[in-house]
Amino acid sequence: MKPMRLIPTAALAGCVLLALAACGTNPVTGKRELQFVSTSQEISIGQQNYAPMKQSEGGDYAVLPDLSAYISEVGKRLVARDDAILQKDRNLPFEFTVLNNSVPNAWALPGGKIAVNRGLLTALDNEAELAAVLGHEITHALARHGAQAQERGTLLQGGLVAAQIGAVMGGVDEQAAGLLLGGASVGAQLVHMKFGRDDELEADQYGTRLMKAAGYDPQGAVTLQQTFVRLFDNKEPGWLEGLFASHPPSVERVRRNQELVAQLGAGGDLGRDRFQARMKPLLAIKPAYDKYDQALAAVEKKDMARAKSLAAEAARQEPREAQFQQLLGDIAVSEKRDLDALAFFQKAQQLNPNYFGSWLGGGVAQYRLNNKTVAKQWLQRSYDLLPTAPAALYLGNISRDAGNTDAALGFYQAAASSGNAYGRDAQREAVLIDLPRRPGNYVTTQAVRDLSGKLLLKVQNRAPVAVAGIAVTPIVVNAAGQVTNTGRTVNVRGTLDSGQQVTVDAGLGVLTEEQEKMLRFRVESARVVE
């Protein structure tokens, strides 16, 4: 008889993992790694989340659309030379855009969907630095860094979990705020994920090699990181919550870049004159965006008079920008000046019909003015562009008022997931519709015994609102779960607040343990206390 050979624990664990996932080669590093997320899944994640993520981060920059075309030119020049760093074919449908956002940031979704904020472009000096930014983000996508973060979540939690992350939209008050729902929160988790030290160094290294292969001067990657370190050390406003939140700079990154440039050899296309010429129109209207950012800061301090003055000045300086008109509308809505708000929102819709914010704010104003047909159209337009809690709540109200309770319940349940004030309002409205239909989902029951062995009924209100009129019927079921007998319905007197419980006589006397095993309680009715 052959002796039994024991499999080491580590090897056994590896076998289990290999049974659950494919083992693949990282297309950039050439290293073997477990891969739970396939390339096709990465591409799908990027395609599904790119549009809502762009909306939640300010939308495509419509005032100067040539900027996105320029960024795309530089990005495609880099991607065309990805063979210089790839160890394995990696065919991703790369896309590049500029977002209308003053926060200096850039990000990449899995599958090659990349965005650069307007606020970052004004801080760069030349095209080589822009290429360093894009090369870094391209490498994140090529090296599967976003997918790897998801895979680490899979290993730890047993599933790809997307937290419901809210992002306040508009910057005014709750009437103009929006918490992301559904797929938009998946994108938010991926975009605002903080990469680890190794991922950042890897993106620097291979992104710089990509620059060199595309003909750019790799020294741009050094000067870029030197600028970032200086801004980080000075705690420059905007940067800490922007690029530095997910891509923290360091002296080590500067040193590594310098060593790599020495190895690769400096020299190449710096593209300063070309870059400056393309940025000139943006820099010319930057003062208007500075006024707008100051207006948002004033709103946060509840200084609406100053906010209105600054937003109006921004609109005078740059009349093509829809965000300025939307902010004036948002402020008017927050001050209950709904009719005044409509003029601003309509102007914003004309300037940029493809951004959700003016449709949302305008829909709220129309609803409050009792123009519900138009309100429904505008709110649905905003919801299609970016699902938010306020849009879902108001669409639910419109459906409810029209007698379409099923549609209303769907919208309310979507809004309730946000957890903010809109979510709490929606949760209450959802309960008003759903509790009479399915009282057993909100009122729980349990059989308990007193000291004499008499069977009692414990009833608890799990709804977020007070309930009354609770009626419970004891039933007897057989081994197949079929009802074979029913007892007398027990009416619970009074009101139960949310979370409150009460114990009442079940009207069944003393039962044997076998009889109790077959006993269930059916909640017949309950109503919300207004």
Domain-embedded: residue 164: no
- What pLDDT digit, counting tens, does each position of 378-424 carry? 999 999 998 888 899 999 999 999 999 999 999 999 998 877 788 88
Domain-embedded: residue 162: no
pLDDT at 2: 37
Asked if residue 21 has pLDDT above 50, the reply is no
Asked if residue 488 has pLDDT above 50, the reply is yes
Pick the last residue of a domain from 333, 359, 378: 378
Distances (CA, A) of 401 to 299, 314, 360, 395, 405: 33, 39, 19, 10, 9
| Domain co-membership, 90 together with 207 | yes
Domain-embedded: residue 89: yes
- What pLDDT digit, counting tens, does each position of 160-203 carry? 222 222 222 333 334 333 466 665 554 455 554 555 567 778 88
| Domain co-membership, 80 together with 226 | yes
Q: Are 327 and 311 in contact (CB under 8 A)?
A: yes
Apex 283 CA angle, 278 and 289, nearest 5: 130
| Domain co-membership, 233 together with 299 | no
* Centroid of chain to Cα 522: 40
Nearest to 304 by CA among 328, 339, 338: 328
Asked if residue 37 has pLDDT above 80, the reply is no
Asked if residue 528 has pLDDT above 80, the reply is yes
Q: How confident is the model at residue 12 (pLDDT cuts 50, 70, 90)?
A: very low
Q: Are 156 and 167 in contact (CB under 8 A)?
A: no
Looking at per-residue confidence, does 62 or 335 come out higher? 62
Q: Looking at the 3D structure of the chain, how many domains does it have?
A: 3
The span from the CA of 152 to the CA of 276, in Å, is 41
| Domain co-membership, 311 together with 260 | no
Question: Worst-scoring range by mean pLDDT, 33-47, 90-104, 239-253, 270-284?
Answer: 239-253
| Domain co-membership, 226 together with 317 | no
Q: Token pair for residue 60?
A: 């495509």
* Centroid of chain to Cα 135: 25
Q: 175: number of CA atoms within 13 Å, CB side?
A: 22
Domain-embedded: residue 56: yes
pLDDT at 307: 93
Q: How confident is the model at residue 150 (pLDDT cuts 50, 70, 90)?
A: low
pLDDT at 157: 27
* Centroid of chain to Cα 325: 25
Specify which residues 108 forms β-bridges with: 114
Domain-embedded: residue 6: no
| Domain co-membership, 297 together with 262 | no
Q: Could you give the dihedral angle defined by the CA atoms of residues 164, 167, 173 and 175, in that order, rounded to the nearest 10 degrees?
A: -60
Nearest to 357 by CA among 391, 317, 407: 391
Q: How confident is the model at residue 69 (pLDDT cuts 50, 70, 90)?
A: very high
| Domain co-membership, 443 together with 523 | yes
Apex 259 CA angle, 258 and 260, nearest 5: 90
Q: Are 489 and 452 in contact (CB under 8 A)?
A: no
- What pLDDT digit, counting tens, does each position of 281-296 carry? 999 999 999 999 999 8
Q: Are 318 and 324 in contact (CB under 8 A)?
A: yes
> What does the pLDDT average to over 328-333?
92
Looking at per-residue confidence, does 485 or 403 come out higher? 403
- What pLDDT digit, counting tens, does each position of 132-144 carry? 999 989 988 888 7
What pTM was computed for the model? 0.82
Q: What is the CATH number of the domain that holds 330?
A: 1.25.40.10
pLDDT at 229: 76
- Return the residue matching tokens 């000075």: 234
Q: Which H or E run includes 252?
A: helix 251-264
The span from the CA of 354 to the CA of 68, in Å, is 16
pLDDT at 249: 62
In 10 A of CB 255, how many CB atoms? 12
Tell me the range of 150-159, 183-192, 242-251, 301-310 where mean pLDDT is highest: 301-310
In 345-451, which ranges are E strands?
Answer: 443-449
The span from the CA of 307 to the CA of 329, in Å, is 12
Question: Worst-scoring range by mean pLDDT, 61-75, 152-166, 351-365?
Answer: 152-166
Pick the last residue of a domain from 349, 378, 407: 378
The span from the CA of 232 to the CA of 529, in Å, is 54
Nearest to 391 by CA among 182, 99, 81, 144: 182
| Domain co-membership, 126 together with 53 | yes
The span from the CA of 329 to the CA of 338, in Å, is 8
The span from the CA of 491 to the CA of 473, in Å, is 9
| Domain co-membership, 83 together with 202 | yes
pLDDT at 200: 78
pLDDT at 518: 84
Q: What is the CATH number of the domain that holds 454?
A: 2.60.40
**Close Cβ partners of 17 (under 8 Å, ≥ 6 residues apart):** 34, 155
Tell me the range of 2-16, 168-182, 306-320, 323-337 where mean pLDDT is highest: 306-320
| Domain co-membership, 447 together with 504 | yes
Domain-embedded: residue 139: yes
Going by the DSSP 8-state scheme, the letter that residue 7 receives in this structure is P
The span from the CA of 494 to the CA of 25, in Å, is 66
Tell me what the pLDDT averaged over the chain comes to.
Answer: 82
| Domain co-membership, 259 together with 297 | no
Domain range enclosing 69: 36-156+182-270
Map residue 525 onto helix, strand or coil.
strand
Domain-embedded: residue 497: yes
Domain-embedded: residue 41: yes
| Domain co-membership, 148 together with 262 | yes
The span from the CA of 506 to the CA of 431, in Å, is 27
